[in-house]
Amino acid sequence: MPNTLLWADATADDLPLLQSLRFGNQPYELEISDWLSQDAGKFLGQNGNFIWAYFNRSGDCVGFTSLSTALWNLTGSGGCSALVDIMYIPALGIDKRFHSVGSGEIPFPDRYLGQMLNHVIQEATKRKRTRDKLGLLTHPDNGKAADIYQSKCGFEKLPLYYFVDSNPETPYFQWIRKI
Ligand SMILES: CC(C)(COP(=O)(O)OP(=O)(O)OC[C@H]1O[C@@H](n2cnc3c(N)ncnc32)[C@H](O)[C@@H]1OP(=O)(O)O)[C@@H](O)C(=O)NCCC(=O)NCCS
């Protein structure tokens, strides 16, 4: 199965390898590189946070996923009681060299991203405890990622926007699915 990815738990020692990945030059692609260079070290220093690196059979690092938890307001109503404890994917990406590998030939679940998402969803399910939802954000210009999460992975868009500290002007879409 030449297309089957292997994965490894990333530690701080693996960050230089992940930081060498290139996701593209759009702002929403560059922010994934920024996350790896500016936030991932601190992220890995906190219990319950994970980054996985994925390798193809030639030993190339193809991409990464990450997993954490978050408190999200799922309804838009006020007050702390509206906050729900969820599993959360802060960032993921595939190196530009490996975008769309197998597109049109290999079914999505067997493609690189399909395998990576399947793995991170399994990890989220394994670690969820009482949490029954998995969330992630997309930049409003990242129509491709939004399309994938909605049409391939069962995520639904919340009727709310999320504002992140690193990009306070931008209303991110919030996506959620059951686990
Ligand atoms: C988002 C990302 C992980 C997708 O991986 P990929 O290998 O490029 O994905 P593919 O090209 O195989 O596309 C998979 C699906 O995306 C959708 N898609 C592809 N191109 C698209 C486009 N231009 N617009 C909308 N949807 C598109 C299709 O549903 C496609 O499935 P199909 O080929 O069966 O029709 C990758 O492009 C990436 O790492 N981007 C930069 C970082 C990033 O955006 N991370 C996500 C942050 S939330």
| Residue of 31, 148, 175 to test ligand 1 pocket, by largest number of atoms within 8 Å of CB | 148
- pTM for the model stands at 0.96
Domain count, the chain: 1
Round to whole Å and give the CA distance between 168 and 113.
28
CA of 113 to the centre of ligand 1 (A): 8
Q: Which atom of ligand 1 is nearest to the CA of 142?
A: 44
Task: Specify the pLDDT at position 3.
Answer: 85
Give 145 Cα–ligand 1 centroid separation in angstroms.
Answer: 5
Query: What per-residue confidence (pLDDT) applies to 121?
Result: 98
Q: Which of 155, 125, 152 is nearest to 137 (CA)?
A: 155
> Closest by alpha carbon to 66, among 131, 3, 103, 15?
15
Tell me the pLDDT tens digit for each residue of 7-41.
Answer: 999 999 999 999 999 999 999 999 999 999 999 99
Measured at the CA of 166, the angle between CA 128 and CA 77, to 5 degrees, comes to: 55
Give distance in angstroms: CA of 121 to centre of ligand 1: 17
Atom of ligand 1 nearest to the CA of 111: 12
The rounded Å distance from CA 38 to ligand 1 centre is 24
Ligand 1 centroid–CA 115 distance in Å is 13
The answer as to whether 1 is a domain residue is no
CATH code for position 155: 3.40.630.30
In this prediction, residue 94 carries a pLDDT of 98
Closest of 88, 110, 63, 76 to residue 177, by C-alpha: 88
Return d(Cα 99, Cα 63) in angstroms, integer.
10
pLDDT at 49 (0 to 100): 98
Please indicate, yes or no, if residue 130 is contained in any of the structural domains.
Answer: yes
Stretches where the chain sits below pLDDT 70 are: 1-2, 80-81
Identify the pLDDT of residue 160. 87
Provide the pLDDT for residue 117. Answer: 97
Please check whether residue 60 lies inside any domain of the structure: yes
Determine, yes or no, domain membership for 114.
yes
Coil vs helix vs strand at 108: helix
Name the residue at shortest CA distance from atom 13 of ligand 1. Answer: 100
Measured from the Cα of 23, ligand 1's closest atom is: 41
Domain of residue 13: give its range: 6-178
Q: Whose CA is nearest to atom 34 of ligand 1?
A: 108
Q: At what angle do helices 112-126 and 143-153 cross, to 10 degrees?
A: 70
